[in-house]
Protein backbone atom coordinates (compact mmCIF):
# COMPACT_ATOMS: atom_id res chain seq x y z
CA UNK A 1 0.00 0.00 0.00
CA UNK A 2 2.68 2.41 1.10
CA UNK A 3 4.80 4.11 -1.53
CA UNK A 4 7.03 7.00 -0.65
CA UNK A 5 9.19 9.19 -2.82
CA UNK A 6 12.29 9.91 -0.75
CA UNK A 7 12.87 13.12 -2.68
CA UNK A 8 11.30 16.30 -1.36
CA UNK A 9 7.70 16.52 -2.51
CA UNK A 10 6.39 19.72 -3.97
CA UNK A 11 4.54 21.87 -1.48
CA UNK A 12 0.82 22.13 -2.25
CA UNK A 13 1.01 25.23 -4.42
CA UNK A 14 -2.04 23.81 -6.13
CA UNK A 15 -2.78 26.27 -8.86
CA UNK A 16 0.83 26.63 -9.88
CA UNK A 17 1.42 22.92 -10.34
CA UNK A 18 2.34 22.27 -13.94
CA UNK A 19 1.67 18.57 -13.47
CA UNK A 20 -2.00 18.66 -12.51
CA UNK A 21 -1.75 15.20 -11.08
CA UNK A 22 -3.81 14.17 -8.11
CA UNK A 23 -1.79 10.96 -7.78
CA UNK A 24 -0.42 11.65 -4.32
CA UNK A 25 1.73 9.19 -2.40
CA UNK A 26 -0.72 7.05 -0.42
CA UNK A 27 -0.20 5.76 3.11
CA UNK A 28 -2.42 3.39 5.01
CA UNK A 29 -2.36 5.49 8.18
CA UNK A 30 -1.15 8.87 9.39
CA UNK A 31 1.43 7.07 11.52
CA UNK A 32 2.81 5.43 8.35
CA UNK A 33 3.08 8.86 6.71
CA UNK A 34 4.86 10.26 9.77
CA UNK A 35 7.28 7.34 9.88
CA UNK A 36 8.16 7.85 6.22
CA UNK A 37 8.30 11.65 6.22
CA UNK A 38 11.81 13.07 6.01
CA UNK A 39 10.97 16.75 5.78
CA UNK A 40 11.41 19.33 8.52
CA UNK A 41 8.24 21.30 7.87
CA UNK A 42 4.59 20.67 8.61
CA UNK A 43 2.71 18.65 6.01
CA UNK A 44 -0.87 18.20 4.84
CA UNK A 45 -2.86 15.06 4.33
CA UNK A 46 -6.08 14.27 2.51
CA UNK A 47 -8.55 11.53 3.34
CA UNK A 48 -10.13 10.84 -0.07
CA UNK A 49 -12.67 8.51 1.52
CA UNK A 50 -14.00 11.33 3.71
CA UNK A 51 -14.29 13.65 0.70
CA UNK A 52 -16.09 10.97 -1.30
CA UNK A 53 -18.48 10.34 1.61
CA UNK A 54 -19.30 14.06 1.88
CA UNK A 55 -19.90 14.20 -1.89
CA UNK A 56 -22.21 11.24 -1.65
CA UNK A 57 -24.18 12.89 1.14
CA UNK A 58 -24.73 16.00 -0.99
CA UNK A 59 -25.42 14.14 -4.22
CA UNK A 60 -28.06 11.98 -2.57
CA UNK A 61 -29.54 14.56 -0.19
CA UNK A 62 -29.30 18.06 -1.62
CA UNK A 63 -32.43 18.95 -3.59
CA UNK A 64 -30.71 20.15 -6.75
CA UNK A 65 -27.46 20.34 -8.69
CA UNK A 66 -24.32 20.30 -6.50
CA UNK A 67 -21.48 22.64 -7.56
CA UNK A 68 -18.19 22.32 -5.67
CA UNK A 69 -16.75 25.72 -4.73
CA UNK A 70 -13.21 25.08 -5.98
CA UNK A 71 -11.66 27.78 -3.78
CA UNK A 72 -12.26 25.64 -0.69
CA UNK A 73 -9.53 23.21 -1.75
CA UNK A 74 -8.37 23.16 -5.36
CA UNK A 75 -5.94 20.27 -5.00
CA UNK A 76 -6.27 18.00 -8.05
CA UNK A 77 -6.69 15.01 -5.74
CA UNK A 78 -9.75 16.69 -4.20
CA UNK A 79 -11.22 17.48 -7.62
CA UNK A 80 -10.59 13.97 -8.91
CA UNK A 81 -12.08 12.42 -5.78
CA UNK A 82 -15.23 14.51 -6.14
CA UNK A 83 -15.47 13.65 -9.83
CA UNK A 84 -15.04 9.94 -9.10
CA UNK A 85 -17.82 10.26 -6.49
CA UNK A 86 -20.16 11.53 -9.20
CA UNK A 87 -19.96 15.30 -8.76
CA UNK A 88 -20.00 16.97 -12.17
CA UNK A 89 -20.28 20.75 -11.59
CA UNK A 90 -17.79 23.28 -10.27
CA UNK A 91 -18.08 26.88 -9.09
CA UNK A 92 -14.98 28.75 -10.27
CA UNK A 93 -13.85 32.32 -9.73
CA UNK A 94 -10.67 32.92 -11.71
CA UNK A 95 -8.78 32.03 -14.87
CA UNK A 96 -6.48 29.78 -12.83
CA UNK A 97 -9.43 27.83 -11.42
CA UNK A 98 -11.00 27.50 -14.89
CA UNK A 99 -7.74 26.16 -16.33
CA UNK A 100 -7.34 23.79 -13.41
CA UNK A 101 -10.78 22.26 -13.98
CA UNK A 102 -10.14 22.03 -17.74
CA UNK A 103 -7.00 20.09 -16.98
CA UNK A 104 -8.14 17.84 -14.14
CA UNK A 105 -11.82 17.19 -14.90
CA UNK A 106 -12.23 18.44 -18.48
CA UNK A 107 -15.79 17.17 -18.89
CA UNK A 108 -17.07 19.08 -15.87
CA UNK A 109 -19.62 21.87 -16.13
CA UNK A 110 -18.30 25.15 -14.74
CA UNK A 111 -20.18 28.11 -13.33
CA UNK A 112 -18.42 31.48 -12.92
CA UNK A 113 -20.20 32.65 -9.79
CA UNK A 114 -17.84 35.44 -8.73
CA UNK A 115 -19.92 38.63 -8.95
CA UNK A 116 -16.98 40.82 -10.07
CA UNK A 117 -14.69 39.61 -12.82
CA UNK A 118 -12.03 41.06 -15.08
CA UNK A 119 -12.93 41.35 -18.77
CA UNK A 120 -10.18 38.86 -19.59
CA UNK A 121 -11.71 36.37 -17.13
CA UNK A 122 -15.13 36.75 -18.76
CA UNK A 123 -13.71 36.12 -22.25
CA UNK A 124 -11.60 33.22 -21.06
CA UNK A 125 -14.59 31.68 -19.28
CA UNK A 126 -16.79 31.96 -22.35
CA UNK A 127 -14.11 30.44 -24.60
CA UNK A 128 -13.77 27.64 -22.03
CA UNK A 129 -17.42 26.76 -22.43
CA UNK A 130 -18.85 28.56 -19.39
CA UNK A 131 -22.38 29.85 -19.95
CA UNK A 132 -23.35 30.65 -16.35
CA UNK A 133 -22.14 33.96 -14.93
CA UNK A 134 -22.98 35.86 -11.74
CA UNK A 135 -23.41 39.61 -11.51
CA UNK A 136 -24.68 41.99 -8.83
CA UNK A 137 -25.03 45.36 -10.58
CA UNK A 138 -25.85 46.91 -13.95
CA UNK A 139 -22.21 47.71 -14.75
CA UNK A 140 -21.08 44.10 -14.31
CA UNK A 141 -24.03 42.93 -16.41
CA UNK A 142 -23.04 45.37 -19.16
CA UNK A 143 -19.42 44.20 -18.89
CA UNK A 144 -20.44 40.56 -19.38
CA UNK A 145 -22.61 41.45 -22.39
CA UNK A 146 -19.93 43.66 -23.97
CA UNK A 147 -17.30 40.95 -23.73
CA UNK A 148 -19.44 38.01 -24.77
CA UNK A 149 -21.50 39.54 -27.61
CA UNK A 150 -18.58 39.60 -30.07
CA UNK A 151 -17.73 35.96 -29.24
CA UNK A 152 -21.24 34.62 -29.41
CA UNK A 153 -22.37 32.61 -32.47
CA UNK A 154 -26.03 32.61 -33.47
CA UNK A 155 -26.52 28.93 -32.66
CA UNK A 156 -24.83 29.09 -29.24
CA UNK A 157 -26.86 28.11 -26.17
CA UNK A 158 -27.89 31.29 -24.33
CA UNK A 159 -26.08 32.62 -21.30
CA UNK A 160 -27.66 32.19 -17.93
CA UNK A 161 -27.02 35.19 -15.72
CA UNK A 162 -27.32 34.75 -11.97
CA UNK A 163 -28.12 37.84 -9.92
CA UNK A 164 -26.20 37.72 -6.63
CA UNK A 165 -28.36 39.07 -3.83
CA UNK A 166 -27.15 40.82 -0.71
CA UNK A 167 -28.50 39.15 2.39
CA UNK A 168 -28.51 40.69 5.84
CA UNK A 169 -25.69 39.26 7.97
CA UNK A 170 -27.12 36.22 9.68
CA UNK A 171 -25.85 33.73 12.19
CA UNK A 172 -23.07 32.23 10.07
CA UNK A 173 -19.74 31.88 11.87
CA UNK A 174 -18.05 33.49 8.88
CA UNK A 175 -20.41 36.14 7.46
CA UNK A 176 -20.03 36.96 3.77
CA UNK A 177 -22.43 39.89 3.70
CA UNK A 178 -19.88 42.69 3.50
CA UNK A 179 -18.87 42.80 -0.11
CA UNK A 180 -21.15 41.49 -2.83
CA UNK A 181 -24.80 41.44 -3.72
CA UNK A 182 -27.61 43.67 -4.95
CA UNK A 183 -29.82 45.28 -2.30
CA UNK A 184 -33.61 44.92 -2.52
CA UNK A 185 -34.60 47.76 -4.88
CA UNK A 186 -31.58 47.29 -7.13
CA UNK A 187 -32.31 43.57 -7.27
CA UNK A 188 -35.90 44.19 -8.36
CA UNK A 189 -34.77 46.69 -11.01
CA UNK A 190 -32.09 44.34 -12.32
CA UNK A 191 -34.52 41.42 -12.50
CA UNK A 192 -37.00 43.57 -14.42
CA UNK A 193 -34.32 44.87 -16.78
CA UNK A 194 -32.95 41.37 -17.34
CA UNK A 195 -36.38 39.95 -18.10
CA UNK A 196 -37.16 42.85 -20.47
CA UNK A 197 -33.91 42.09 -22.33
CA UNK A 198 -34.90 38.42 -22.65
CA UNK A 199 -32.10 37.20 -20.36
CA UNK A 200 -32.21 33.67 -18.94
CA UNK A 201 -32.26 34.71 -15.28
CA UNK A 202 -31.08 32.98 -12.16
CA UNK A 203 -30.67 34.22 -8.62
CA UNK A 204 -27.83 33.32 -6.26
CA UNK A 205 -27.10 34.09 -2.60
CA UNK A 206 -24.75 33.01 0.17
CA UNK A 207 -25.96 32.87 3.78
CA UNK A 208 -22.36 33.01 5.09
CA UNK A 209 -19.90 30.21 5.67
CA UNK A 210 -20.38 27.68 8.49
CA UNK A 211 -24.03 28.59 8.92
CA UNK A 212 -25.62 26.90 11.95
CA UNK A 213 -29.24 27.75 11.17
CA UNK A 214 -30.98 25.82 8.37
CA UNK A 215 -33.78 28.35 8.64
CA UNK A 216 -31.50 30.99 7.10
CA UNK A 217 -31.89 29.22 3.77
CA UNK A 218 -35.68 29.26 4.18
CA UNK A 219 -35.62 32.97 4.98
CA UNK A 220 -33.44 33.65 1.95
CA UNK A 221 -35.81 31.72 -0.30
CA UNK A 222 -38.79 33.62 1.13
CA UNK A 223 -36.93 36.85 0.35
CA UNK A 224 -36.27 35.70 -3.22
CA UNK A 225 -39.99 34.96 -3.63
CA UNK A 226 -40.79 38.54 -2.59
CA UNK A 227 -38.25 39.99 -5.04
CA UNK A 228 -39.41 37.84 -7.92
CA UNK A 229 -43.05 38.77 -7.29
CA UNK A 230 -42.20 42.47 -7.00
CA UNK A 231 -40.29 42.30 -10.29
CA UNK A 232 -42.93 40.15 -11.98
CA UNK A 233 -40.33 37.83 -13.56
CA UNK A 234 -39.76 34.10 -13.92
CA UNK A 235 -36.49 32.53 -12.79
CA UNK A 236 -34.81 29.68 -14.56
CA UNK A 237 -32.53 28.78 -11.63
CA UNK A 238 -32.09 29.40 -7.95
CA UNK A 239 -28.68 28.92 -6.36
CA UNK A 240 -28.62 28.50 -2.57
CA UNK A 241 -24.83 29.05 -2.42
CA UNK A 242 -22.58 27.49 0.19
CA UNK A 243 -22.53 27.86 3.96
CA UNK A 244 -23.18 24.23 4.91
CA UNK A 245 -21.32 23.55 8.15
CA UNK A 246 -19.24 20.84 9.71
CA UNK A 247 -18.88 20.08 13.43
CA UNK A 248 -15.72 21.72 14.75
CA UNK A 249 -15.15 21.19 18.50
CA UNK A 250 -17.45 23.42 20.49
CA UNK A 251 -19.77 23.95 17.51
CA UNK A 252 -22.79 21.72 17.15
CA UNK A 253 -24.55 22.56 13.89
CA UNK A 254 -27.63 20.53 12.98
CA UNK A 255 -27.04 17.56 10.66
CA UNK A 256 -26.82 18.31 6.93
CA UNK A 257 -30.05 16.44 6.27
CA UNK A 258 -31.88 19.14 8.18
CA UNK A 259 -30.50 21.77 5.78
CA UNK A 260 -31.49 19.68 2.78
CA UNK A 261 -35.05 19.11 4.01
CA UNK A 262 -35.47 22.79 4.97
CA UNK A 263 -34.38 23.85 1.47
CA UNK A 264 -36.53 21.20 -0.20
CA UNK A 265 -39.61 22.30 1.75
CA UNK A 266 -38.94 26.00 1.18
CA UNK A 267 -38.50 25.52 -2.58
CA UNK A 268 -41.98 24.01 -2.65
CA UNK A 269 -43.54 26.42 -0.14
CA UNK A 270 -42.33 29.47 -2.07
CA UNK A 271 -43.36 28.02 -5.40
CA UNK A 272 -39.92 27.33 -6.85
CA UNK A 273 -40.61 23.64 -7.44
CA UNK A 274 -40.31 24.06 -11.23
CA UNK A 275 -37.07 26.10 -11.07
CA UNK A 276 -33.67 24.37 -11.33
CA UNK A 277 -32.04 24.60 -7.90
CA UNK A 278 -28.30 24.69 -7.28
CA UNK A 279 -26.02 24.61 -4.25
CA UNK A 280 -22.33 25.57 -4.00
CA UNK A 281 -20.84 23.81 -0.97
CA UNK A 282 -17.15 24.24 -0.32
CA UNK A 283 -16.35 23.65 3.33
CA UNK A 284 -18.81 20.82 3.90
CA UNK A 285 -17.38 18.81 1.00
CA UNK A 286 -13.71 18.88 1.91
CA UNK A 287 -13.11 20.14 5.49
CA UNK A 288 -13.29 16.71 7.11
CA UNK A 289 -11.21 15.30 4.27
CA UNK A 290 -7.99 17.09 5.17
CA UNK A 291 -5.63 17.61 8.10
CA UNK A 292 -2.34 19.34 8.83
CA UNK A 293 0.43 17.62 10.75
CA UNK A 294 2.55 20.02 12.80
CA UNK A 295 5.51 19.34 15.08
CA UNK A 296 6.11 20.81 18.52
CA UNK A 297 9.41 22.70 18.39
CA UNK A 298 9.34 23.97 21.96
CA UNK A 299 7.08 23.91 24.99
CA UNK A 300 6.82 26.79 27.46
CA UNK A 301 4.25 25.82 30.09
CA UNK A 302 0.90 25.67 28.30
CA UNK A 303 2.28 27.28 25.14
CA UNK A 304 3.35 25.03 22.29
CA UNK A 305 5.56 26.50 19.56
CA UNK A 306 4.70 24.64 16.36
CA UNK A 307 5.96 24.67 12.76
CA UNK A 308 2.78 25.93 11.06
CA UNK A 309 0.42 28.79 11.85
CA UNK A 310 -1.95 31.38 10.44
CA UNK A 311 0.26 32.19 7.44
CA UNK A 312 0.49 28.50 6.69
CA UNK A 313 -2.52 26.23 6.72
CA UNK A 314 -3.98 27.20 10.13
CA UNK A 315 -5.56 30.53 9.22
CA UNK A 316 -9.02 29.88 10.68
CA UNK A 317 -7.68 28.56 13.98
CA UNK A 318 -5.74 31.77 14.60
CA UNK A 319 -7.85 34.38 12.86
CA UNK A 320 -11.30 33.34 14.05
CA UNK A 321 -10.24 31.45 17.19
CA UNK A 322 -11.84 28.27 15.86
CA UNK A 323 -10.83 25.20 17.78
CA UNK A 324 -9.92 22.38 15.43
CA UNK A 325 -9.94 18.77 16.59
CA UNK A 326 -6.40 17.71 17.49
CA UNK A 327 -4.68 14.40 18.05
CA UNK A 328 -1.16 13.78 19.22
CA UNK A 329 1.42 11.43 17.71
CA UNK A 330 4.40 10.72 19.90
CA UNK A 331 7.83 11.53 18.53
CA UNK A 332 8.72 7.86 18.73
CA UNK A 333 6.75 4.65 18.76
CA UNK A 334 3.47 4.01 17.10
CA UNK A 335 0.94 4.59 19.87
CA UNK A 336 -1.30 7.63 19.60
CA UNK A 337 -2.43 9.35 22.75
CA UNK A 338 -5.91 8.05 22.18
CA UNK A 339 -4.72 4.71 23.48
CA UNK A 340 -2.60 5.80 26.43
CA UNK A 341 -3.33 9.39 27.24
CA UNK A 342 -2.26 10.90 30.50
CA UNK A 343 -4.50 13.70 31.77
CA UNK A 344 -5.12 16.29 29.09
CA UNK A 345 -4.97 20.06 29.45
CA UNK A 346 -5.68 23.11 27.30
CA UNK A 347 -2.80 24.50 25.23
CA UNK A 348 -2.26 27.61 23.17
CA UNK A 349 -0.22 27.18 20.01
CA UNK A 350 2.24 29.65 18.57
CA UNK A 351 3.01 29.64 14.86
CA UNK A 352 6.58 29.74 13.55
CA UNK A 353 6.66 33.27 12.08
CA UNK A 354 7.82 36.37 13.92
CA UNK A 355 4.32 37.90 13.73
CA UNK A 356 2.37 38.21 16.99
CA UNK A 357 -0.90 37.50 15.16
CA UNK A 358 0.44 34.04 14.49
CA UNK A 359 -1.13 32.58 17.63
CA UNK A 360 -3.88 29.95 17.92
CA UNK A 361 -5.61 30.63 21.21
CA UNK A 362 -7.56 27.37 21.37
CA UNK A 363 -7.45 26.05 24.01
CA UNK A 364 -6.54 22.77 22.34
CA UNK A 365 -6.92 19.76 24.60
CA UNK A 366 -3.80 17.59 24.47
CA UNK A 367 -1.98 15.27 26.90
CA UNK A 368 -0.30 17.18 29.68
CA UNK A 369 3.08 15.57 28.97
CA UNK A 370 3.27 16.66 25.32
CA UNK A 371 6.84 17.57 24.46
CA UNK A 372 9.21 18.85 21.80
CA UNK A 373 9.31 16.52 18.79
CA UNK A 374 5.72 15.30 19.18
CA UNK A 375 3.42 15.75 16.19
CA UNK A 376 -0.14 17.11 16.32
CA UNK A 377 -2.78 16.41 13.70
CA UNK A 378 -5.17 19.34 13.14
CA UNK A 379 -8.24 17.62 11.77
CA UNK A 380 -11.08 19.13 9.70
CA UNK A 381 -8.62 21.42 7.99
CA UNK A 382 -9.26 20.34 4.41
CA UNK A 383 -11.29 23.43 3.56
CA UNK A 384 -9.61 26.80 3.09
CA UNK A 385 -6.67 26.18 5.46
CA UNK A 386 -4.71 24.08 2.98
CA UNK A 387 -5.66 26.36 0.09
CA UNK A 388 -4.56 29.50 1.92
CA UNK A 389 -1.12 28.28 2.99
CA UNK A 390 1.70 30.67 2.11
CA UNK A 391 5.45 30.42 2.67
CA UNK A 392 5.69 33.62 4.70
CA UNK A 393 8.94 33.67 6.63
CA UNK A 394 9.93 30.42 4.92
CA UNK A 395 7.45 28.30 6.88
CA UNK A 396 4.37 26.34 5.87
CA UNK A 397 3.34 22.83 4.88
CA UNK A 398 5.91 21.25 2.60
CA UNK A 399 4.20 18.13 1.29
CA UNK A 400 0.82 16.50 0.91
CA UNK A 401 -0.11 12.83 1.11
CA UNK A 402 -3.26 10.78 0.80
CA UNK A 403 -4.27 8.56 3.70
CA UNK A 404 -6.32 5.43 3.08
CA UNK A 405 -8.10 5.55 6.45
CA UNK A 406 -11.61 6.88 6.26
CA UNK A 407 -10.93 10.14 8.10
CA UNK A 408 -9.83 11.93 11.25
CA UNK A 409 -12.87 10.96 13.22
CA UNK A 410 -12.74 7.28 12.48
CA UNK A 411 -10.07 6.00 14.85
C1 LIG B 1 -19.72 32.33 -4.40
C2 LIG B 1 -19.37 31.31 -3.36
N3 LIG B 1 -19.93 30.08 -3.46
C4 LIG B 1 -19.65 29.10 -2.57
C5 LIG B 1 -18.78 29.32 -1.53
C6 LIG B 1 -18.49 28.18 -0.59
O7 LIG B 1 -18.97 28.47 0.68
P8 LIG B 1 -18.84 27.41 1.86
O9 LIG B 1 -17.43 26.99 1.92
O10 LIG B 1 -19.29 28.16 3.06
O11 LIG B 1 -19.75 26.27 1.55
C12 LIG B 1 -18.19 30.58 -1.36
C13 LIG B 1 -17.28 30.86 -0.25
O14 LIG B 1 -16.77 31.91 -0.05
C15 LIG B 1 -18.50 31.61 -2.31
O16 LIG B 1 -17.95 32.83 -2.23
User: Measured in Å, how far apart are the chain's first and last C-alpha atoms?
Assistant: 19
What is the average pLDDT across 50-56?
97
Is the CB of residue 202 less than 8 Å from the CB of residue 280? no
Give distance in angstroms: CA of 68 to centre of ligand 1: 9
pLDDT class for 22, splitting at 50, 70, 90? low
pLDDT value, residue 321:
84
69 lines ligand 1 (CB under 6 A): yes
Give distance in angstroms: CA of 405 to centre of ligand 1: 27
What is the average pLDDT across 106-111?
98
283 lines ligand 1 (CB under 6 A): yes
Give distance in angstroms: CA of 27 to centre of ligand 1: 31
pLDDT value, residue 342:
67
What is the average pLDDT across 227-253?
95
- For residue 154, is pLDDT > 80? no
Pairing of strands 276-279, 26-27: unpaired
Greater confidence, 8 or 294? 294
pLDDT value, residue 158:
83
Atom of ligand 1 nearest to the CA of 113: 1
What is the average pLDDT across 167-182?
86
Residue 176 makes CB contacts below 8 A (sequence gap 6+) with: 206, 208, 209
pLDDT value, residue 64:
98
Greater confidence, 64 or 175? 64
Atom of ligand 1 nearest to the CA of 172: 10
pTM of the model: 0.92
Q: Report the run of H or E that residue 279 belongs to, with start and end.
A: strand 276-279
pLDDT value, residue 269:
98
CATH fold for domain 49-286:
TIM Barrel (3.20.20)
282 lines ligand 1 (CB under 6 A): yes
pLDDT value, residue 331:
83
Tell me the CATH number for domain 14-47+289-406: 2.40.37.10
pLDDT value, residue 185:
97
pLDDT value, residue 174:
85
- For residue 9, is pLDDT > 50? no
Greater confidence, 343 or 107? 107
- For residue 11, is pLDDT > 80? no
Share of the chain above pLDDT 90, in %: 81
76 lines ligand 1 (CB under 6 A): no
Cβ neighbours of 40 (radius 10 Å): 8
Report, in this order, helix, strand and coil percent for the chain, each rounded to 5.
Answer: 35, 20, 45
- For residue 168, is pLDDT > 90? no
243 lines ligand 1 (CB under 6 A): yes
Largest CA distance in the chain: 72
Q: Where in the chain is the domain with CATH 3.20.20.10?
A: 49-286
164 lines ligand 1 (CB under 6 A): no
Positive or negative, the CA dihedral 307, 311, 315, 318 is positive
Query: Which of 62, 209, 216 has the most ligand 1 atoms within 8 A of CB, as the residue to mutate?
Result: 209
pLDDT value, residue 300:
98
Give distance in angstroms: CA of 164 to centre of ligand 1: 12
- For residue 20, is pLDDT > 70? no
What is the average pLDDT across 277-300?
98
- For residue 3, is pLDDT > 70? no
Atom of ligand 1 nearest to the CA of 164: 1
Q: If you ran DSSP here, which 8-state letter would residue 232 be given?
A: T
pLDDT class for 339, splitting at 50, 70, 90? very low
- For residue 17, is pLDDT > 50? no
Give distance in angstroms: CA of 148 to centre of ligand 1: 25
- For residue 5, is pLDDT > 50? no
Atom of ligand 1 nearest to the CA of 114: 1
Give distance in angstroms: CA of 280 to centre of ligand 1: 6
HSE-up of residue 67 (Cα within 13 Å, Cβ side): 26
- For residue 23, is pLDDT > 90? no
Of the candidates 44, 152, 286, 354, the residue annotated as catalytic is: 354
Query: Which of 64, 65, 69 has the most ligand 1 atoms within 8 A of CB, as the residue to mutate?
Result: 69
User: Is 338 marked active-site?
Assistant: no
Q: Where in the chain is the domain with CATH 2.40.37.10?
A: 14-47+289-406
Amino acid sequence: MTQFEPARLARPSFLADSECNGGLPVFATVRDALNAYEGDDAFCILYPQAIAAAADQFLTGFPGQVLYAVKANPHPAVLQTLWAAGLRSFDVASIAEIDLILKVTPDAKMYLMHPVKSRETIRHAYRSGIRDFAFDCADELAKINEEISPLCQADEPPLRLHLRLALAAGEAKMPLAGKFGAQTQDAIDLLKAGAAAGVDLGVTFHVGSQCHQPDEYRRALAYVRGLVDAAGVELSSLDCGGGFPIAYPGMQPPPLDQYFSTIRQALTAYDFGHVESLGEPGRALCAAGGSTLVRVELRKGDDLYINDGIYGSLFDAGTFDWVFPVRLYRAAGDATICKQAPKSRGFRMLGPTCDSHDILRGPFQLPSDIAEGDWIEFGHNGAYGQALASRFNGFGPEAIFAIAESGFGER
